[in-house]
Structures are given as C-alpha cells and as structure tokens.
C-alpha cells in the first residue's frame, strides 16, 4: 500500500501510513525512512524532517547508523540553514563514537548555529570540537573570531580550554646542582 501511495505521488497518505506502522512497532521503521528518502529526492527536504525525526531512535537502536547518517547528511545538504539534521548527525556520531566524521559534523553545526544567530550554541560546539581535535587550526581561528564577535575579551590567548589564560611565571628558578665526582673508570671512558 505504501508503494502504491508513493507511486501515485500521494506522499501525505504514505507519510500517514508510515507513521501508523512505526507507532505500532518501532522495529518497522523502514516505511517512514523510505518516505523520508522519497521526499529528499523529490526536492522536499523540509517535509522529510518530521519523518527522519520519527525514525532516528528506532534506526539507531537497530544499528542502521550508516543509512540514517546518509539520509541526515542529504537533508542537511538540501537545507543549508536548518539546524535539526546537523544536530541529529552530531548526536548520531557521538552515540556511535564515530571520531572520523564527528569533527566535520561539529564544524558544520557550529557554522549553522552562527548563521542562525545562536552564538552561545556555536561557541559550545566549537569548544567540543577543540577538545576532540586541539590541533585544528581552522577551528581555533573560528573560535577566536566568534569570541571576539561576542565581546568575550582577547580571544587570541584562548586556545580551546575553558579556563582563563595562565600568566607567565617567568623563567624557572634554578638550584645549585653539584655533580658527584666520577670514579676512575668513568673518567677514562669520558
């Protein structure tokens, strides 16, 4: 029945049916995921968001991480200003410990937060990115620029830690150190 609705272009009925199927048994998320993908491919990504939201937990629980990640990435790509698919991608990559794709997802989410005027969220996201990847120079620059834009002081001294910069204590204090005398064999060797 779902395929008939989709084949006839009646996405609303297909969405309703998929939601009913999912409500009866969360393990049958395939119908709702299929509707979301059809909407993404049909150029209606905003309408796919509710269907993706319906299936996120069920797909994650079932171990269908890759399929979910692909759908969320397509939604994010087709909805450049939309925060939800990016937040969901970050949540998915955190939950699956995907340390390879998480930094890029965090950077993208931070950019979207900034565009949406959510500077505190952008700052927090960049801080997480810098904790995970402290050598990321681009993230450091963006973090410093954001702090400056937010009026949070000298951003150049803040390199990813949430603690204030520590003042330089000066040169280390030296102690008088006396070397012990070398024995005769060691002196010959030296």
The string of DSSP codes covering 24-75 is H-TT--HHHHHHHHHHHHTT-HHHHHHHHHHHHHHHHHTT-HHHHHHHHHHH
Residue 51 structure tokens: 């269907």
pLDDT tens digit sequence for 47-105: 889 889 988 998 998 899 999 999 999 999 999 989 999 999 999 999 999 999 999 99
SS (H, E, C) 136-188: CHHHHHHHHHHHHHCCCCCHHHCCCCCCCCCCCCCCCCCCCCCCCCCCHHHHH
pLDDT of residue 160: 45
Give tens-digit pLDDT for 119-163.
999 999 999 999 999 999 999 999 999 999 888 865 444 444 444
Rounded CA separation 189/77 (Å): 70
99-126 per-position pLDDT tens digit:
999 999 999 999 999 999 999 999 999 9
Q: Give 43 or 87, the one with higher predicted confidence.
A: 87
Count the residues in the chain: 190
Residue 81: strand, helix, or coil: coil
CA-CA distance, 92 to 61, in Å (whole number)? 11
pTM higher than 0.75: no
């Amino acid at each position: 029945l779902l395929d008939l609705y989709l084949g006839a272009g009646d996405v609303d009925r297909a969405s309703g049916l998929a939601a009913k199927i999912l409500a009866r048994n969360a393990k049958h998320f395939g119908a709702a995921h299929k509707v979301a993908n059809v909407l993404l491919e049909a150029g209606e990504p905003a309408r796919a968001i509710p269907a993706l939201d319906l299936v996120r937990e069920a797909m994650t629980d079932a171990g269908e991480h890759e399929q979910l990640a692909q759908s969320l990435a397509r939604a994010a790509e087709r909805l450049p200003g939309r925060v939800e698919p990016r937040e969901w991608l970050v949540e998915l990559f955190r939950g699956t410990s995907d340390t390879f794709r998480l930094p890029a997802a965090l950077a993208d989410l931070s950019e979207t937060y900034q565009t949406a005027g959510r500077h505190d969220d952008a700052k927090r996201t960049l801080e997480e990115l810098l904790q995970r990847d402290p050598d990321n120079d681009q993230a450091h620059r963006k973090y410093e620029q954001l702090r400056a834009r937010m009026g949070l002081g000298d951003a150049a001294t803040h390199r990813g830690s949430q603690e204030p910069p520590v003042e330089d204590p000066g040169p280390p204090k030296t102690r008088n150190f006396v070397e012990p005398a070398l024995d005769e064999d060691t002196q010959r060797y030296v």
